[in-house]
Chain A
């Protein structure tokens, strides 16, 4: 079973700052990694798929990188509405199953 470990657990930054969120897999997952954003009281939203591709409608300030076991979600210039918990997720090809990381809470000062 692949385990995803996200760090830090909580990140507190000011508007305009750069946020860097990490996700480490216990074994290689190639580029089969996605990032989701969950704002308070809302369902999650797909941000990044295949490690580095933005989903439809996602602002360009969100970017993803990495492959294998180490992945990063970067928010280049924080906006107040970026307050959320961010989850990484890996998918296995067969059986077709998913695993989420424990999440990183992003606080906006």
Chain B
């Protein structure tokens, strides 16, 4: 069975540009969460979607947006990139967004470098 997939694996952008990251959850999982992880820190929560509705939003600026499609895949968009947006972006899927949300399955991540 396929796990969580993310694309692209690596991305290099310049300041001010826009980026779109993509994620496909495990088959049967309807919840997708996005995280930002910088070296030496734990994942920082950005968004969670369940059944195409936003269920949670972390403390990130409005430059970050996301959506979930009918097939439960998801996109994370970041506008007006800053150097500080350089990080590993992780997508995780889970069966539920409530009590089952603690058991999350992560994709390999997208390494974003902003120059």
User: Are A and B associated in one complex?
Assistant: no
A residues neighboring B (CB under 8 Å): none
B residues neighboring A (CB under 8 Å): none
